Structures are given as C-alpha cells and as structure tokens.
Amino acid sequence: MLLKIKNKETLIIDDFKFRCSVGKKGIKNNRIEGDKTTPKGLFTLGKLYYRADRVKKPQTNLKVNKIKKTMGWCNDSKSKYYNSEVKISKKIGYEKLYRKDYKYNYILVINYNSKKIPYKGSAIFLHLTKNYKPTLGCIALKEKDFLIMLKLINKKTKIKIY
C-alpha cells in the first residue's frame, strides 16, 4: 500500500483523498534542519504514538506507543541521538512529544533521514491539524481523516511525497 502526497494539499490512499498540509516552504529534495520544507521521496513509516490521556488507542495494524511526559524527539544535529526518540534531557536539543496543544495527540513517524545524517532534518511526522496551516516540515491531517488512514495502512505501507 502506498500513501501519496500530491500537490502539497492532498494525501491519497487507494480511493480516499484527504486534504492535508505540508511544510511552509513546500516540498524539497535536499532538506536541511529547520528549513520548513517537507522532504521529497519514498519513505517507510515508523512508530505510531498517541496521547492516552486525551484520545483513545486507535484502530490500526501498526505498533502503537503511548506518549509519556518525558518523551522527546532529538533535533540536535551534534547528538548521537539525532532524529530519534529520546528521554527529555537538558544535555541535548529536542522537540517535546507531550505537547500542550492537540497536534501530537496522534503522530506517525515518517522514516526520513533514518541514517541520522547531521543537519539533514529530523522529526518528520504525520500529525494533526484543525486549520491546515503550513507545518515546519511534517504532514498534517484532520483527526477524523488521520483515524481513517490508520485503519487502511499497515507496517508495509510507504509514503511517496512529490
């Protein structure tokens, strides 16, 4: 199965078309950390996370993890943990997964920069939106569409961003 991001505002799965938003500066081949672009390419999907204190565990064939207050995603290019889940620490730069807003009530990791090449970009996720405002590089969907997508995909699903 293949998820496709087409024309910066549509995510396609089989016969389903969902409105989505991408990075503020569009889709780009040679992404760098902090450039507000969504990476172009074909990627596998990683772990699915959810906020158990806010939302139900989703119906899906993917591995599901609860987000804890101590979880972050390393965006520090100099760290050996770059572009991976970390326990929050003052010693490295990170993005909190346990956010005050709703955007990370569900997040699905896009396996971009899996080789952890410094400055190539980190924390590229599928996450939630309510208004389709551009992201910092992630892909955002409305919650009802996100939950439908989760029922359709599995661990072999890939995402093509072009």
**pLDDT tens readout for residues 67-110:** 999 999 999 999 999 999 999 988 999 999 999 999 999 999 99
Note the pLDDT of residue 13.
95
Domains and CATH numbers, the chain: 2-161 (2.40.440.10)
Note the pLDDT of residue 1.
87
Q: Tell me the C-alpha distance between 54 and 101, whole Å.
A: 11
96 touches 74 (CB < 8 A): no
Q: Tell me the C-alpha distance between 92 and 3, whole Å.
A: 33
pLDDT, block means (10 residues), the chain with 162 residues: 90 95 96 97 97 98 96 96 95 96 98 97 98 97 98 97 95
74 touches 81 (CB < 8 A): yes
Q: How far is CA 92 from CA 15, 75, 86, 100, in A?
A: 43, 8, 9, 21
Note the pLDDT of residue 137.
97
Note the pLDDT of residue 31.
96
Cβ-based burial of 94 (10 A; exposed 0-12, middle 13-18, buried ≥19): buried
Note the pLDDT of residue 7.
77
The sign of the dihedral angle between the CA atoms of 82, 66, 101, 42 is positive
Note the pLDDT of residue 6.
80
Instruction: Tell me phi and psi for residue 151, to 5 degrees.
Output: -75, -25
The predicted model scores a pTM of 0.96
Note the pLDDT of residue 129.
98
